[in-house]
Amino acid sequence: MRIALYQGPAGPHAPEDNLARLEAWATQAAGQGADLVVFPEMFLSGYNIGAQAAAERAQPADGAGFKHVATTAQRLGIAIAYGYPEAGPDGAIYNAAQLVDSQGQRLLNYRKAHLFGGLDRAMFTPGDGRFVTAKLNGWNLGLLICYDVEFPEAVRHLALAGADLVLVPTANMVGFEFVADVTVRARAYENGCYLAYANYSGPEADLTYCGLSSLNQPDGTQQVLSATEEGLLFSVLAKDALAACRQASPYLLDLRNDLYGLPHPQSI
């Protein structure tokens, strides 16, 4: 499977402007043979926008933003993962991400479980941590959002649920480059999976994002964009390479699940 990660500026743009940007970059990704393109956290609204704007721009999971993305995915024949503010049926606002397949069907809707600092907590209700996977083109995929990946338990639960690839839309800032450089590589290696980390670059209000979007291999190697680059990062995922890494480092098979109250691996 060939995937693309988009990295570029965030902005407090209107949702229709961000949908137009998503469509333009998805068109480029599809034109270069990608089966899946991943966009950063809260891509449809901007991230550092405050509680009032987050509430105003929030939409239901099946709202107008989803319908536009689904139509784009179907027209281009490419799967799309993107972040957005979700208006929950309970009235809460969630920091969410969706995975839509090339037929325009929603495969996953995930709500950020670990909220980062006052900025996140002022805007959102935390998700309930349903770490589930969905199948795309014969691969098992899971979703996390930004700070979630810094908790090893989150990625481990997805790996035990059979994830071959974990998608992480993010809005990681200057000062936290260690996460982009080291943490995500370690998560891929220790769980025997691929991990796609799609970040912003440049300023948004009083934040500056550190870029360094990456595709992390199950052997711990990393393809990465520069800190300031805008564009697409492409990578090809290979089942034989995945199997070889899992055989060489069988952490999930050797894990003493009984010691930690973890489920047994579903598909390794």
| CB neighbour burial string for 197-211, b if at least 16 within 10 angstroms, e if fewer | bbbbbbebeebebbb
pLDDT digits (tens, 9 = 90+) for 200-258: 999 999 999 999 999 999 999 999 999 999 999 999 999 999 999 999 999 999 999 88
Catalytic residues: 41, 112, 146
pLDDT digits (tens, 9 = 90+) for 50-96: 999 999 999 999 999 999 999 999 999 999 999 999 999 989 999 99
Q: How far apart are CA 89 and CA 86, in angstroms?
A: 9
Query: Whole-prediction pTM value?
Result: 0.97
Closest CA to 130 of 151, 152, 154: 154
pLDDT of residue 123: 97
Contacts of 202 (CB under 8 A, 6+ apart): 8, 9, 10, 208, 209, 211, 228
CA atoms within 13 A on the CB side of 148: 31
Written as one letter, the residue type at 165 is L
> Hey, what are 228's tokens?
């300031």
